[in-house]
Amino acid sequence: MSKPGKRFRAANDPIDHDKLYAIEEAVKLIKNGAKAKFDETIEIAMNLSVDPRHADQMVRGVCQLPHGSGRKLRVAVFAKGAKADEAKAAGADLVGAEELVEQVQKGVIDFDRCIATPDMMPLVGRLGKVLGPRGLMPNPKVGTVTNDLGPAVSAAKGGAVEFRVEKAGLIHAGVGKASFTEEALVENIRAFTDAVMKSKPSGAKGAFVKRMAVSSTMGPGVKIEPTSLGAR
């Protein structure tokens, strides 16, 4: 195993990995250590006391980050007629019906978010094996199957972050960039944590959040005291 580089060691040295930090202090440590030549993504990871193999313990939702994610996302919309025009006017990057389905079936997936009108779902449903594993399948539970395309496209391009619990009860997401102010990052992380907490399923028992940590793309993780975010 290769040794950590100088930049990683410099970011890691001030961190006490046995300590749970308040969110403000954790963000300061992460920002100070994010010295890569590109604008690193700030990520949050949460370990929840759920088993997603059980339907009553699934955690899934969407969060509109107040300061956006810092990513420029390409949004595809499956729609026809006036709804297609509405999606284009809202700034969708790709809009189509059968021709867009054919493109995806050929493996051409040039988008980061996918939205569909309800009437298009029988057609889009054919793409489940392609879009599902990539987390791109439209779903009414997270607002990506809708006739209200203007707000949906604007939200997707403006910082809406979808989340879904994975094996071992893990959720992770990008919540901003190292170039953001500490205050903006803290507000984004609070918003994301609140959204996850509101998605607590009926089957979750005991403390919902086991562990939390934040990190940058190239940096070490910093453990967070969940109660500093109101998470229990």
Domain coverage including residue 85 = 75-158
Separation in Å, CA 213 to CA 10, 20, 44, 63, 121? 19, 9, 6, 18, 37
The residues, ordered by sequence, that sit 6+ positions from 211 with a Cβ below 8 Å of its Cβ are 46, 47, 223, 226
Query: Do 63 and 166 belong together in one domain?
Result: yes
CB atoms near residue 207 (< 10 Å): 11
- Kind plus residue range of the DSSP H or E element containing 156: helix 149-158
> Does a structural domain hold residue 140?
yes
Q: Is residue 90 domain-resident?
A: yes
Same structural domain, 202 and 217: yes
CATH number of the structural domain spanning residue 36: 3.30.190.20
Q: In Å, how far are 114, 119, 150 from 143, measured between CA atoms? A: 10, 15, 12
Contact 20, 223 (CB under 8 A): yes
**With bands split at pLDDT 50, 70 and 90, how would you rate the model's confidence at 3?**
low
Query: What pLDDT was estimated at residue 231?
Result: 66
The 10s digit of each residue's pLDDT in 59-97 is: 988 898 999 889 888 999 999 999 999 999 999 999 999
In degrees, to the nearest 5, what angle opens at C-alpha 139 toward C-alphas 83 and 120?
Answer: 35
Which stretch of DSSP H or E encloses residue 9? helix 6-12
Residue of 205, 189, 132 lying closest to 164 (CA atoms)? 132
pLDDT at 227: 85
Please give the tally of structural domains in the chain: 2
Q: How far apart are CA 224 and CA 101, in angstroms?
A: 43
Q: Is residue 197 part of a domain?
A: yes
Stated pTM of the model: 0.81
Residue of 8 and 181 predicted with greater confidence:
181
Which residue, 158, 182, 203, sits at the end of a domain?
A: 158
> Is residue 193 located within the same domain as residue 122?
no
How far is it, in rounded angstroms, from Cα 181 to Cα 66? 13
Residues 169 and 107 in one domain: no
> Which is nearest to 107 in space by CA: 123, 83, 129?
129
- Looking at the predicted structure, is the pLDDT value of residue 6 above 90? no
Q: Which residues contact 161 (CB under 8 A, 6 or more apart)?
A: 62, 63, 64, 65, 69, 173, 174, 175, 192
Domain match, 42 and 99 both: no
Give me the pLDDT at residue 207, please: 87
Q: Are residues 63 and 175 in the same domain?
A: yes
Dihedral class, residue 9 (left if φ above 0, else alpha if ψ from -120 to 50, else beta):
alpha
